[in-house]
């Protein structure tokens, strides 16, 4: 969601006004501009379609510089799987690998895609939420039943809920799921919100209205997150 979203008094989200008719102008449709932007979209599509790969990207993005053994330990992956994902992420241009020291050090810049006229926002917090399906049965169930779009909507609803702006029942109504499913996914997505609020520089793009109002668990309670004393300065 973007800063243009209007939050209703009942905590729901009103639809945006229709987009301007001239949004697709000559500059937007210039072949050179489209060609330059295409790889960025393809990269994000890779992460959206491969939650296990997204999970490694988010770990490096949030906790880097990190070494492959640290990723193996933090995400409980085998050595072969870890290096396979690292190689993919390096090839996609998402992760930088420094081989000048041993063990090699990996870093990743946060990515963001914002389309205010749809609206949709993809940031590391969203990718983390999607990646949780690899380790959380509730997120896996929700994804299998409702797909990526509704999970992103649920993430927004979860943020509003933890900020005290909406109830579980209201989230269920807004995203059209059962109340028990809303309760389940709200709490399953809390780790993505907890880590994202501290480490995602684009967190405010998702929650421009409540980013500093959420009552969330501490980072020490998030599975897989390094202890704060071990995190890079």
Please, how many CA atoms are within 13 Å of residue 122, restricted to the half-sphere of its CB? 19
Q: Which CB contacts under 8 angstroms, 24+ apart, belong to 166-173?
A: 166/10, 166/11, 166/12, 167/11, 170/10, 170/11, 170/12, 173/12
Clarify whether residues 132 and 92 are in a common domain: no
Clarify whether residues 199 and 125 are in a common domain: yes
| 19 found inside a domain | no
The last residue of one of the domains, among 107, 142, 157, is 107
What is the CATH number for 39?
1.10.10.10
Give the domain range for residue 176. Answer: 6-11+112-230
The last residue of one of the domains, among 55, 90, 107, is 107
Check: pTM over 0.85? Answer yes or no: no
Domain count, the chain: 2
- DSSP annotation of 66: B
The predicted structure's pLDDT at residue 126? 94
The last residue of one of the domains, among 57, 79, 107, is 107
| 103 found inside a domain | yes
Residues 6+ apart with CB under 8 A from 59: 66, 71, 74, 75, 224
Clarify whether residues 223 and 147 are in a common domain: yes
Clarify whether residues 220 and 148 are in a common domain: yes
Q: For the chain (length 233 residues), average pLDDT per consecutive 10? A: 37 39 50 61 86 96 95 95 96 92 92 73 93 96 94 94 95 94 96 95 91 89 64 43
| 221 found inside a domain | yes
Query: What number of other Cβ atoms are within 10 A of residue 135's Cβ?
Result: 16
| 202 found inside a domain | yes
| 54 found inside a domain | yes
The predicted structure's pLDDT at residue 38? 60
Clarify whether residues 181 and 208 are in a common domain: yes
């Amino acid at each position: 969601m973007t800063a243009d979203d209007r939050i209703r008094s009942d905590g729901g989200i009103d639809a945006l006004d229709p987009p301007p008719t001239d949004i697709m102008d000559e500059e937007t449709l210039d072949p050179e501009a489209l060609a330059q932007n295409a790889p960025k979209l393809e990269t994000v599509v890779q992460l959206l379609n491969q939650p296990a790969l997204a999970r490694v990207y988010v770990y490096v993005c949030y906790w880097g510089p990190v070494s492959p053994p640290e990723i193996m330990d933090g995400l409980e992956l085998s050595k072969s799987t870890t290096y396979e994902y690292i190689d993919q992420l390096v090839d996609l241009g998402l992760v930088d690998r420094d081989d000048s020291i041993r063990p090699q050090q990996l870093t990743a810049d946060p990515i963001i895609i914002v389309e205010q006229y749809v609206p949709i926002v993809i940031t590391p917090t969203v990718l983390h939420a999607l990646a949780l399906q690899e380790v959380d049965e509730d997120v896996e169930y929700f994804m299998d039943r409702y797909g990526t779009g509704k999970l992103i909507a649920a993430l927004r609803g979860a943020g509003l809920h933890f900020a005290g702006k909406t109830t579980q029942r209201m989230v269920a109504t807004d995203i059209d799921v059962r109340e028990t499913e809303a309760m389940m996914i709200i709490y399953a997505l809390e780790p993505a919100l907890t880590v994202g609020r501290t480490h995602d520089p684009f967190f405010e793009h998702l929650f421009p209205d409540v980013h500093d109002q959420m009552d969330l668990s501490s980072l020490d309670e998030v599975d897989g997150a390094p202890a704060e004393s071990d995190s890079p300065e």
